[in-house]
Amino acid sequence: MGATEVTPMSRLLYAMLQQTSPKGINWNDVAKHPILSQEISNGHCARLRYYHFHKKMQNLRLQKPTPARVTKGKKDKVCRFCTCRGKSCNGGTPCLECIKLNSYCCYPQTGGTVDVYIPLRKQKKIG
């Protein structure tokens, strides 16, 4: 059993230990018990190991399962012309900028120029 692994047997032993009082346990006898794979140096260390184990088991009981991650879809790229108008590309004929970005555009392309739909006094030819 690894340091971070909680097995069904450790859960059973923890449930059994919950029925006794830690104050009534002779920790020096626990530290020297022959069933241990490695002898614990003294009773104080045995008691500390118990309290660390107790804390770990309490945290496992109180933890909520982590929610599944939700993957978000890729956001469509928007060319600078569409950004200027505050719109996203709507799948019309792509402008040159949107072709470079491999995106869709709301601006029609005519003869190498792109008509940007802005009021007449501000209309430009880009391209």
Secondary structure string (H, E, C) spanning 46-94: HHHHHHHHHHHHHHHHHCCCCCCCCCCCCCCCCCHHHHHHCCCCCCECC
pLDDT of residue 123: 44
The pLDDT of residue 76: 55
| Whole-prediction pTM | 0.41
The pLDDT of residue 85 is above 60? no
